[in-house]
Structure 1
Amino acid sequence: MDSSTISKPHERLAATLDGEMTAVNELIRTRMTSEHAPRIPEVTAHLIEAGGKRLRPMLTLAAARLCGYQGEHHVRLAATVEFIHTATLLHDDVVDESGQRRGRPTANLLWDNKSSVLVGDYLFSRSFQLMVETGSLRVLDILANASATIAEGEVLQMTAAQDLRTDEAVYLQIVRGKTAALFSAAMQVGGVIAKAPESQVHALFDYGDALGIAFQIADDLLDYQGDAKETGKNVGDDFRERKLTLPVIKAVAQATTEERTFWERTIEKGRQEDGDLEHALELMNKYGTFDATRADANAWAAKAKSSLESLPDGEIRTMLSELADYVVSRLN
């Protein structure tokens, strides 16, 4: 596949890493089998074969190649990262009572909540088996910490999502948990397995962290300003689901007493009426929170790009830089 003829950076990265991604996909299929519980590969295949971008495992492969790695452990680590991601999606869909993901019915809808939770647990266990096979205690430490941070972020979101006291610092903590932790760990382990200098491992972490934050902020803004055909979500789904994301948090911080009463009724108490979404959009426009949120996403993307400066120059670094631009290009 010629990566020069492909326009999107994640697709160019996929083309460049094609051979290694094939090996990752084969390993995933092998390890998601179960001799005793056929429900496990059924549920896992439904999600893993759904046609996601595989961005997180690609980041691990890219980081390893960027740092000159020659072995095979990066394939195990990329599969590990995808298993952790898939396990969290299975659990998230149960917690959020979601009925659709990537335009398809969720596993909890097709099977049931018990199956989704238990298969998610199985994939977490599989991911730790793969980590151990690399023989690196540092890798185990990084990915175990990331798994704990992800779970912590989900619990924090559950308690903070409908609390108007949730400020931008708490929002950032949630985003670091639910999104950025796995991006940064995926990058970091690629450098560790390549025995890259500590300064480079740190730069890889910083890139993944900033990219993950930019990615999530962009997603949250697109919920209010995106094209439903492209995002797969209806405009205002987060409002209807009473999720306090950055555009709303910024509006609440500047709200008058009357406006705060509106946010309390719609977000905290969940008593939403016809016309409430339109009024919420008016308030966010009034305080310029969409522009401010866009500026935050762009700043994090710029930070991701600057983190790459200390890493070896070349094709992979260029693609990672373009990926940071692409994550926020949907907003501009």
Structure 2
Amino acid sequence: MSLDEAATKPHEELAATLAEGMDAVNVLIRERMASENAPRIPEVTAHLVEAGGKRLRPMLVLAAARMCGYAGPYDIHLAATVEFIHTATLLHDDVVDESQQRRGRPTANLLWDNKSSVLVGDYLFARAFQLMVEPGNLRVLSILSNAAATIAEGEVLQLSAAQDLRTTEDIYLKVVRGKTAALFSAATEAGGVIAGATEEQVQALFDYGDALGIAFQIVDDLLDYQGDAKATGKNVGDDFRERKLTLPVIKAVALADDEERAFWTRTIEKGRQEDGDLEHAIALLEKHGTLEATRRDALDWAAKAKAAMAALPESDLQRMLGDLADYVVARIN
């Protein structure tokens, strides 16, 4: 039986193991997203926070900390911090991308407006910084504040790279490390640091989060061209319609002849899309085998995540995190 077919999936097993801690995280999130003066803040935040996401990033904080023997109270604060940072970036992303659907529901910018989404995202970033200060650990503060800056940098890099056919796989990786993997690696690294883990263990946790985040984003980009909209909460081809150069297309552009390159120039760089273009784009990806090549890349990054986790002492949580790396790519096996 594959991980995707298993009765209890790895993230569900992790959630069950960390249930008490995650309950405390959710209580703290509800407390800190409140606002006496601006009721729209909890309205907008609740719409996204309570939309049924897996809470993967805060679970990574708790799992890393507890795997390294932490028994104090501040992993809860750090878990809430990464969830606030994540939620803030989603609010901002949906405005930038002009998205209309997130996790199968209308986006906040569609239900309210762009101004509300941006300003509430700013509020959540401010709350995140308040939370990350409370443990009084300067190294943890450095990790999480640097991650927030790296995420913003990755998003800005994507603005210039997403519609430029000169974008290489190396630039794509920089974008992914910024906008996605930075928060995964900060979550696992901060969990290890707050627990007083050894430098070798902290590095292994960082490497795990980095590789897991990259695999996660590559899978997301792959499923945009061959996923199930009901399962992903996104319409197939959204990245193409939004003119995003993701890994399958970058690989196809590198292999394109003059006619194909002209197609990518028209549809991605110039944004002149016509009926049937998405189907033709998918045909080109299949012609050059770039969907399969992207799949192999995702599997390689998941394997790197598992290898990093193998450097940590064996435990149930260590096994679950290894299984989680497999699960992230199970949908494309």
Q: Is this a same-fold pair by TM over 0.5?
A: yes
Superposed displacement of residue 234, structure 1: 2.2
- 2:330 corresponds to 1:319: no
- 2:81 corresponds to 1:80: yes
Equivalent residue of 1:143, what SS? helix
Residue equivalent to 1:25: 26
Distance (Å, rounded) in 2 between the aligned partners of 1:272 and 1:141: 44
Distance (Å, rounded) in 2 between the aligned partners of 1:268 and 1:88: 25
Q: Which amino acid aligns with 1:197?
A: T
- 2:36 corresponds to 1:35: yes
Equivalent residue of 2:332, what SS? coil
- 2:120 corresponds to 1:119: yes
Residues 62/145 of structure 1: CA separation in 2 closer, same or farther (3 Å cut):
same
Equivalent residue of 1:330, what SS? helix
Cα shift readout 1:75-119 (whole Å, capped 9, x = no counterpart): 000000100001111111111111111111111111111111111
Cα shift readout 1:174-196 (whole Å, capped 9, x = no counterpart): 10111100000000000000000
Q: Give the aligned length.
A: 328
Distance (Å, rounded) in 1 between the aligned partners of 2:234 and 2:227: 8
Residue equivalent to 1:160: 161
Superposed displacement of residue 241, structure 1: 1.3
Cα shift readout 1:279-304 (whole Å, capped 9, x = no counterpart): 21121111110110000000000000
Is contact 2:101–2:233 with CA below 8 Å preserved after alignment?
no
Superposed displacement of residue 239, structure 1: 1.1
Distance (Å, rounded) in 2 between the aligned partners of 1:77 and 1:265: 45
Residue equivalent to 1:245: 246
Distance (Å, rounded) in 2 between the aligned partners of 1:43 and 1:225: 31
Quick check: 275-284 or 116-125, which moved more? 275-284
Residue equivalent to 2:237: 236
Distance (Å, rounded) in 1 between the aligned partners of 2:229 and 2:100: 16
List structure 1 segments (4+ residues) > 2 angstroms apart after TM superposition: none
Residue equivalent to 2:104: 103
Cα shift readout 1:210-264 (whole Å, capped 9, x = no counterpart): 0000000011111111112211222222111111000000000011111111110
Cα shift readout 1:20-67 (whole Å, capped 9, x = no counterpart): 000000000111111211111111111111110000000000000110
Q: Percent identity?
A: 77
Within a 5 Å distance, the mapping from 1:161-200 to structure 2 comes to 161-200=162-201
Distance (Å, rounded) in 1 between the aligned partners of 2:241 and 2:81: 34
Distance (Å, rounded) in 1 between the aligned partners of 2:176 and 2:29: 27
Distance (Å, rounded) in 2 between the aligned partners of 1:6 and 1:311: 27
Distance (Å, rounded) in 2 between the aligned partners of 1:32 and 1:237: 30
Residue equivalent to 2:220: 219
Distance (Å, rounded) in 1 between the aligned partners of 2:320 and 2:126: 32
Superposed displacement of residue 7, structure 1: 1.6
Is contact 1:6–1:12 with CA below 8 Å preserved after alignment?
no
Residue equivalent to 1:279: 280
Superposed displacement of residue 6, structure 1: 4.8
Within a 5 Å distance, the mapping from 1:133-144 to structure 2 comes to 133-144=134-145
Is contact 1:60–1:189 with CA below 8 Å preserved after alignment?
yes
Distance (Å, rounded) in 2 between the aligned partners of 1:129 and 1:232: 32
Equivalent residue of 2:234, what SS? coil
Distance (Å, rounded) in 1 between the aligned partners of 2:280 and 2:42: 45
Within a 5 Å distance, the mapping from 1:293-304 to structure 2 comes to 293-304=294-305
